[in-house]
Amino acid sequence: MSILVNKDSKIIVQGITGSEGSFHATQCLEYGKNVVGGVTPGKGGQTALDGAVPVFNSCQEAREKVGANVSLIFVPPPFAADAIMEAAAAGIELIVCITEGIPVAQMVEVKAYVATTGSRFIGPNCPGILTPGEAKVGIMPGFIAKRGSVGVISKSGTLTYEAVHQLCAEGLGQSTCIGIGGDPIIGTTMLDLLKMFEADPETDAVVMIGEIGGSMEIEAAQFAKDHITKPVIGFIAGQTAPPGRRMGHAGAIVSGADESAAAKKKLMAECGLIVVESPADIGRTVKAALK
């Protein structure tokens, strides 16, 4: 099994006629064969990806005509918040936003609105989701992953790829890989995904890659202590980051004593997670945990 996306997902791409949307939509279509259309207001009735998929004026039209249940968003920052809410209003079950640079004030509004709908939102500023051999929704390089039983949750795109590489080097495949994004306000959290992987009978272990700033890793670890039965291997990026300075992601800034890498690692270990010091240790650590 997998979580969130699989071979039956019907994906539309908002912003499919733009250069980035077109490029990555082509990659997603080639990987899983399940991109069913795109959305660009004013270009409905045209086709995209060399005539492979239709273009619609709205998410509502795409849902009605091709049964879309996943939307992948490549819309410029000034319009991305509206694109997310449009997808949610149309009843799209899963919304994945790759766009970086959406203002925090707009994301406050987006998060509140999506919570009133039945949609699940991943991102923004994330690499998306990859279920090896079934579906690619985003910008993750599909060729680096292989089908297996290790779930991957990460704030960092590049560290997601490194974790997948380390797992594959040990002969371990992945059930689903999710990059949740590193902005201060995101949709789906580590805790949300831990619960999904715990419920997935074909996921045997979970890799959770966090970073300095925020309390998401702490909340997930505290829940895992009493409710997660599968091994959780954790890593926190930013171990040498000075307090008060943003490091990379907009949300990666230590504003409290318990948001440092050292504090998070200590609490995660106290909650029973297996904490690694380097991404290079992820593969062998997971393999040992599964013996």
What is the set of active-site residues?
Answer: 249
Q: How far, in Å, CA of 210 to CA of 197, rounded?
A: 17
Token pair in block for residue 4:
């969130």
* Cβ-based neighbours of 64, under 8 Å, separated by 6 or more: none
Run of H or E residues at 38: strand 35-39
**DSSP 3-state of 233:** strand
Count the Cβ atoms, other than its own, within 10 Å of residue 1. Answer: 12
How far is the CA of 1 from the CAs of 100, 159, 204, 257, in angstroms? 30, 24, 11, 39
CA separation for the pair 28, 16 (Å, rounded) = 12
Sheet of 120-122, strand order: 47-48, 53-56, 35-39, 11-14, 70-73, 94-97, 120-122
Gap between the Cα atoms of 12 and 31, Å rounded: 14
Q: Which residues contact 237 (CB under 8 A, 6 or more apart)?
A: 155, 156, 159, 209, 210, 211, 212, 252, 261
